[in-house]
Structures are given as C-alpha cells and as structure tokens.
Amino acid sequence: MSKFNQFTTLDKELVDALASIGFVELSPIQEKTIPLLLKHKDGVFKAPTGSGKTLAYLVPIIQSIKGLNDTKAVVIVPTKVLANQAGEVLKNIRQVCPNFTYSVIKDGNDLVKSNKTSSIIIATPNLFLKSMHEMNLREVEYLIFDEGDMLIFGGFEEQLNQIMSLPLKATKALFTASVDEHLNTLVRHYMGTATSIDLTEGSVTASEVTHTFVDIRHLSKAEALCLFLDVVKPYKAIAFVSNKKDLADVEEYLLSKKIKHSYIHGDLPKREQKKALKDFKDDRTTLLLASDIAARGLDVSEVSDVISLDLPKDLAYYYHRAGRTGRFGNSGHSYIFYTANEPGKARELMKKSKITFKYATLRTDELKADRDLNVAPKKQKINNVYLEKEIKRAIAKNRSKKVKPCYKKKVKWAIDDVKRRHKEQIIKTNVRKKQKENENK
C-alpha cells in the first residue's frame, strides 16, 4: 500500500502532521483521487463506505492553502450531521497543522465574521445558498460535493443547479458510494465529462463485511435485539430502525431492561445528537440505537456490528447502514432481522444485491446457521400416528367414485384443516403445561 510521503507534491509539514495523527498509508480512493485534485482535474469518485473519501478531498484542499485571507474550498454535504463529521476531521488535522481555518455552517441566522475568510466552508446546500453573500468566494479553488447520490436524490436538485451556475473558477469533485446506473446519468448532467474513478466493484459496502439475515421468529424487534446482544455479545454495535414509532418502542424497551446505550434520531435537538454520538465514539456506550440519520457518512472507529432491526423503505440505505462497519480495511458484520413468515423485503434485497448473504436463526442460546431463504425446506415425513389416521379419514370422507368439480382442492383443504387443528391442539397442550409449571414454582 502506498503512503502519503510518496507524494512529492505534498508539503513535508502536511505529511508529517497527517502521520502524527495516524494517517500514514493511503487507501485506494486516496491514492487515485489526490493526484487528480492536486492537478485541479474535475472528477466523479466512487468508493465503498469507510474507504477514506473525506480525507481524499481534504488533503488536496489543505495543500492548496497558502494564506488565511481567502476561502479556498466549499464542501457541500446533504445533512448537518455530515457537515459536523467533516468538521471533526478538520479539527483533528488543524491541531497539528494550523495553516488553515474552517467553518461548519450550522445555522443561517448564526453566521460569524470568521465565515467570510475561512479557508474551508462546509455546509448543506440550503445553508450555503442562504449565507454565501457573507463569504468571499472569489478565490475558491475547490467545490466538493460529498455523498453526491444523497444530494442528487435528496430533493436538492434546484439548489445544486444554483450552486453549479455560480461564476466560480473551481475544480469540481463529487464523491459517492452508490453505483446506481440512474445516478450515473444524473451525475453526467451535473459534472459533464469529468474524470470518473470507480472503486466500488459493484458494491457499496467493503468486501470485509459479512451480511447475515437473522430469522427472529416470534420475537418483537426490541426482544430480538436484547436476545441478540446477549447471545452474540458484539464489541461495538449500531442498531438501525427505520420507523419512528418502532424506534421509540425499542428505546423504551432498552431503558426498561437497563441496557446502556446511546440514542439518536432526526427529531432530537442537535445538542443531544452530538452528545449521543460523542458518548458512543468515546466508548462511554457500546450500543447506538439510531434512525437512518446515522447511516450516511458517520465515521466511528471500531464498530464491529451493524444490526438492521428492519429494512429501510429505500433499500439503498441498507448499504449505507452496513457501511458503518468494516471501515478502512477492518472486518465487520451486518445483520438483518426478518421473520421467515414475512420475507418480502428480505427477498427483494437479495434479488437486487450482488452481495453474498448468510442465513441464521436467533435462538435463546445461539445464532444458529440456517438455510438460504431461496431454498425451499425439505418436506418432512409425517411420523405422528394420530395425525396420519386423521388425514386418511379426511381423504376418505372427500373421496368419490364420480369425478366432481374441485375434487383435488377439496381433499387438499381437508388435509390442511386437519393439520391446522392438530397444530392448535399441540399449542394448547404446551400452554397448559407451561401454566402448570409456573403454578408449581
């Protein structure tokens, strides 16, 4: 693997500063991207989540800064959470390399004078457009669009058109983890004939991540999560829930069980969101319960497991959930809860994805390997004497020497009815046994 010190065009002070905070080796996307951006080439860069895209554009930007009087780069991101994330990376670099300033615009009504002359501006499309009259943009050299697919599909089309039409003589770069063909068409609309680098190999998530469907059987999402935590004992995990009500129910259940965790969703005040993420990053908690607000761009080291308690409405978000683990070459695990009786979305994900999935069933004492969802279970021979007699009796009752309409269907219905009643009887017997056991305790 190449290293930052192999770039002769990077200042030694910057290389040494990066090394002092642990950035020595280049990821593949950094190795491909940095030389192009240093030469001020427009580009579209696709790489799996967790591959180091943020640093891939920040290093050339910092290298280009030679004074503190002008804004050299504008970074556009789809959410404030991602803006803060990029800001955190810059904060760490600036502690060892103070030759630049930066501003994360969090509120259009709360601009400070420093924003006018910050070397790097990070903002959402709306906040940038609202506050750009306060900035000095004449010397901007880089215009970066991070999480480009989310910007394009996230309702920012009008804002992107306005930003693209600004009279900026800046190098434009778009970064994304998605590989959708429709996205490629829209990217060409915004980026024209820019150089395209694709390191996704058809997958949004890193190859080091294993993906497992987990049949939670009769359990609720909250019960299944608690049992999973007890059985698997993940080192550091993020649990995603897409529905607000379900998310609140799981949070309430975790509190009732006194399971320590952090909790984040879009309606939380920003201060509480930052505290929850900080507690999780600093290992004060090892479980983060989250809505899909945390699925994009969130960079937390050492996340060993991602648990999707359900699948998001937009299945593309699953890959971004899974991308919170297996970052920067580390291994990771992504688990998807489902019930075998209702495998609808699970099958849809399997059909659309090029990922190889594993299958398991969550039991009280283990996560047991299971069969592929697409493989039908083998029919087992009936070895219950009483049930066999009842089925024969049902067939005889519906048998006729004359050919009657729907004869085969009626026989099948009769057999199904016998099996259903037999199953109900077993369940009732088991319930009565359980009740007696509880009474005798």
Q: Assess if residue 376 is contained within a domain.
A: no
Cα dist. 175→45, 136, 305, 309, 354 in Å? 5, 25, 25, 28, 22
The domain total for the chain is: 3
In this predicted structure, the answer to whether residue 51 has a pLDDT above a threshold of 90 is no
The residue behind tokens 């308690």 is 309
> Are 261 and 342 members of one domain?
yes
pLDDT band at 37 (very low <50, low <70, confident <90, very high): very high
Between these two residues, 40 and 84, which has the higher pLDDT value? Answer: 40
In this structure, the answer to whether residues 152 and 64 fall within a common structural domain is: yes
Is 234 found in the same domain as 153?
no
Which pLDDT score, from 0 to 100, does residue 384 have? Answer: 65
Look up the pTM and report it: 0.62
In a domain, 374, yes or no: no
Least confident residue range of 30-34, 56-60, 102-106, 378-382:
378-382
State the average pLDDT over residues 185-202: 71
373: which DSSP letter?
A: T
Give the pLDDT confidence score for residue 410 in this predicted structure. 74
* Residues 410, 398: Cα–Cα separation, whole Å: 7
Please tell me whether residues 181 and 255 are part of one structural domain.
no
Residue 210 above 70 pLDDT? yes
Do 144 and 274 reside in the same domain of the chain? Answer: no
- State how beta strands 367-369 and 357-362 pair: antiparallel
Q: What is the pLDDT of residue 376?
A: 52
Percent of the chain at pLDDT > 90 equals 32
Q: What is the pLDDT of residues 54-73, one digit of tens each?
A: 999 999 999 998 876 788 99
CB within 8 Å of 315: residues ≥ 6 apart: 345, 348, 349, 352
Q: 401: domain range?
A: 385-440
